[in-house]
Amino acid sequence: MKPGIQRLIDGLCAGEALDEAQLERLIADRDRDAAARLAEAAVAKRGAIYGNDVYTRGLIEVSNICKNDCLYCGIRRSNGNAQRYRLTPEQILRCAEEGHALGFRTFVLQGGEDPWFTDGRLCAIVSELKARFPDCAVTLSMGERSRDSYQRLFDAGADRYLLRHETADPAHYALLHPAEMSWDNRMRCLRDLREIGYQVGCGFMVGSPFQTPAHLAKDLAFIQAFKPDMCGIGPFIPHHDTPFRDRPAGTLELTLYLLSVIRLIHPPVLLPATTALGTIDPTGREKGMRAGANVVMPNLSPVGVRKQYELYDNKICTGEESAQCRGCLEARMRSIGYRLVIDRGDIKKYQQGE
């Protein structure tokens, strides 16, 4: 290990906040030894708070229609080759019904920014879900909306909102998004969601185009300060119909390293081993657990539309054989000594120093 790294790791383990320069060094000077030590510390920290329990979220991909044009995303509006679909409220409720029977107690409604999902329609779906499944949490991941809209959805019963910040650096944000989208608005959304009372998830892609260790250090500093309830990170994976088609994917190695660091800078965070991680490596999600993750998000969408919700190439779990992602992940997790629990999986209270 490079000199200095051990000291930074010791500091992290002791609950000290690192500054941006230190976080950058932790990333730029990493090696296998550092990764192994961080993973060990991260797993121990997670174990102290959550044991080996893995929380599940049933992911329902409600629409791939999107008014935005994010340069990295396969369902951006400029992609004329995408076959567009939108689930009906009845289809969404049926997915949840199946999911509840399988043991899911959180449903995540995710989609492109599809104008069909007005406040009225989305509130009706949320309140119906909450009425039918009162023991479940409803998470929305439907992009940027007004504060008023977030408030109405919260009042209708939504518990959580996932909105990755994508990058904590405004100039980097501008390289990944068209001019009409703004980093300030993304951050405004996250603040509004927090103030309204949602459990909030942020996150970013690892290895997105133009990303440097300095950008990642900013992401980590943001997470350290914002203390999200959830944090979704996964490798960037190019999609063949986007401007970033020829860019390299993010790596397994760096994603695992960052999962461990995030667990240590904010120990109680709910941290998924994402589908993108499972896409770049056949056992990526298992490796994610061993780096400090504690959440998986099996796909609950109707099998017929899964291939169409193609944010990036080669997304796993889109074939006929994968109708039951929960069972598959359960077996995978059991094989490495973890268990999927039937639980809403809310964030646990944690005092620094425990």
Contact 82, 308 (CB under 8 A): yes
- Span 236-295, contacts to ligand SAH by CB under 6 A: 236-237, 239, 276
d(C-alpha 259, C-alpha 54), whole Å:
15
**Residue 329 binds ligand SAH (CB under 6 A):** no
- Span 298-317, contacts to ligand SAH by CB under 6 A: 311-312
Q: Which of 114, 330 has the CB closer to ligand SAH?
A: 114
**Residues 6+ positions from 195 with CB-CB distance below 8 Å:** none
H/E stretch holding 304:
helix 303-306
Q: What tokens were used for 315? A: 């997304």
Number of residues that bind ligand SAH (CB under 6 A): 18
Q: What tokens were used for 302? A: 């109707």
Q: Which of 141, 318 has the CB closer to ligand SAH?
A: 141
Residue 248 is classified by DSSP as P
Q: What tokens were used for 142? A: 């439907």
Sheet holding 53-56, edge to edge: 295-296, 53-56, 339-340
Least Å distance, CB 139 to ligand SAH, is 12
CB atoms within 10 A of CB 191: 12
- Span 95-134, contacts to ligand SAH by CB under 6 A: 110, 112-113
Straight-line distance from the first to the last Cα atom of the chain, in angstroms, rounded to the nearest whole number: 28
**Residue 228 binds ligand SAH (CB under 6 A):** no
Least Å distance, CB 40 to ligand SAH, is 28
d(C-alpha 108, C-alpha 62), whole Å:
9
d(C-alpha 185, C-alpha 89), whole Å:
29
- Span 196-215, contacts to ligand SAH by CB under 6 A: 205
Judged by CB under 6 A, the residue of 34, 73, 126, 129 near ligand SAH is 73
Least Å distance, CB 143 to ligand SAH, is 4
**Per-residue mark of binding to ligand SAH, 152-181 (x: CB under 6 A):** -----------xx-x---------------
Q: Which of 49, 71 has the CB closer to ligand SAH?
A: 71
d(C-alpha 284, C-alpha 267), whole Å:
21
Q: Which of 50, 309 has the CB closer to ligand SAH?
A: 309
The residue ranges that bind ligand SAH (CB under 6 A) are: 72-73, 110, 112-113, 141, 143, 163-164, 166, 205, 234, 236-237, 239, 276, 311-312
